[in-house]
Amino acid sequence: MNLQGRTAIVTGASSGIGAATVRKLREAGVRVVGGARRVERIEADLALPLDVTDEESSAAFVGRAVAELGGLDILYNNAGLALGRYPFWESNEEDEATVLHTNVDGVLRMTRLCLPHVRDGGHILFTGSVAGRQAYENAASYVAAKFGLRGFVYGLREDLLGRDIRVTTVDAGLTETEFSLVRFKGDAERAKAVYENVDPLTPDDVADCVLFALTRPPHVNVDEVVVKALAQSSGGRIVRRPS
Ligand code: NAP
């Protein structure tokens, strides 16, 4: 399917997978509004501030984006994060709230706000995670959030059955982005170690999966794509080269 002339909203467009997807969508002729808190980092047709954890910010973003685009064909719910790598007894209220509000509530909110504007032939996509399919240690709140996201998408697919809107989740494995820098709260050494002695996925690899789902013929719904680095079988089981 040709994407030329279509319109899209991408959340989490300031970095990593979101930024790579914005680039690829624009190369395919899609007009893209990108949203994130660090709006100055977004390279899209229009960059707007967005905090998916905040109803007012999200509503204002969607209102401006849809007015600019004149209708919506593609929503890519990609904004998300993890905080910390600790056993759950070391967890705290603040990290749990941020992780759940961003990855779950934020995704429900953005989908609810955008859905009335999605045209027939539209497509709603999500960045899930291998963490939402198989637990790994010291990541319980993130695992809970991504399992929650997957449940929501299954429910949404049921509700949209019979309508001309496709739904896809890309469940990504180890991908080298700022994800680990955020998770380790700015500890660059720790973040770098996550990607050492292994060939992780690149943001472009994940963006390619998004583009694959979008460009199938209209009657084909790619429900889920699970993509991992070759050297991993789950979020917690990664084989590294000897250093
Ligand atoms: P990243 O480089 O840190 O990008 C995360 C993006 O989410 C940023 O653009 C960030 O923008 C945005 N974001 C975070 N909180 C937000 C909020 N409250 N409102 C709006 N935007 C927000 O990491 P990434 O790896 O590309 O992450 C993208 C998605 O992939 C996430 O859902 C993540 O859970 C998922 N994922 C990542 C991996 C991996 O290994 N990297 C694996 C599986 C799934 P601002 O900070 O500027 O707001």
Residue 146 alpha carbon, nearest atom of ligand 1: 34
Tens of pLDDT, residues 77-102: 999 999 999 999 999 999 999 999 99
Tens of pLDDT, residues 36-79: 999 999 999 999 999 999 999 999 999 999 999 999 999 999 99
CATH number where 218 lies:
3.40.50.720
Residue 50 alpha carbon, nearest atom of ligand 1: 20
For ligand 1, atom 23: residue with the closest CA = 179
Asked if 185 is an active-site residue, the reply is: no
CA of 103 to the centre of ligand 1 (A): 9
**Is the CB of residue 175 less than 8 Å from the CB of residue 17?**
yes
Asked if 24 is an active-site residue, the reply is: no
**Does residue 1 lie within any of the structural domains?**
no
**Does residue 211 lie within any of the structural domains?**
yes
**Does residue 243 lie within any of the structural domains?**
no
For ligand 1, atom 48: residue with the closest CA = 37
- For a substitution probing ligand 1, which of 78, 176, 228 has the most ligand atoms within 8 Å of its CB? 78
> What pLDDT is recorded for position 229?
98
> What pLDDT is recorded for position 1?
83
Residue ranges in the chain whose pLDDT is less than 50 = none
Number of domains observed in the structure of the chain = 1
pTM over 0.95: yes
For ligand 1, atom 10: residue with the closest CA = 12
Residue with tokens 């690899």: 205
- Provide the β-strand partners of residue 224: 169
DSSP, collapsed to helix, strand or coil, labels residue 77 as strand
**Does residue 121 lie within any of the structural domains?**
yes
Ligand 1 contacts (CB < 6 A) are: 11-18, 36-38, 50-53, 78-81, 102, 106, 127, 129, 172, 174-175, 177-179, 182
Pick the closest to residue 205 from 4, 21, 15 (CA basis). Answer: 21
Classify burial at 90, counting beta carbons within 10 Å of its beta carbon; exposed 0-12, middle 13-18, buried 19 or more. Answer: exposed
Instruction: Please give the helix or strand (H or E) that residue 39 lies within, else none.
Output: none
> What pLDDT is recorded for position 97?
98
DSSP, collapsed to helix, strand or coil, labels residue 226 as strand
Residue 38 CA to residue 203 CA, distance in Å, equals 18
Residue with tokens 């706000």: 113
Q: How many residues does the chain have?
A: 243
DSSP, collapsed to helix, strand or coil, labels residue 179 as helix
**Is the CB of residue 151 less than 8 Å from the CB of residue 134?**
no
**Does residue 169 lie within any of the structural domains?**
yes
For ligand 1, atom 30: residue with the closest CA = 127
What's the domain range around 197? 7-237
- For a substitution probing ligand 1, which of 127, 133, 184, 224 has the most ligand atoms within 8 Å of its CB? 127
**Does residue 232 lie within any of the structural domains?**
yes
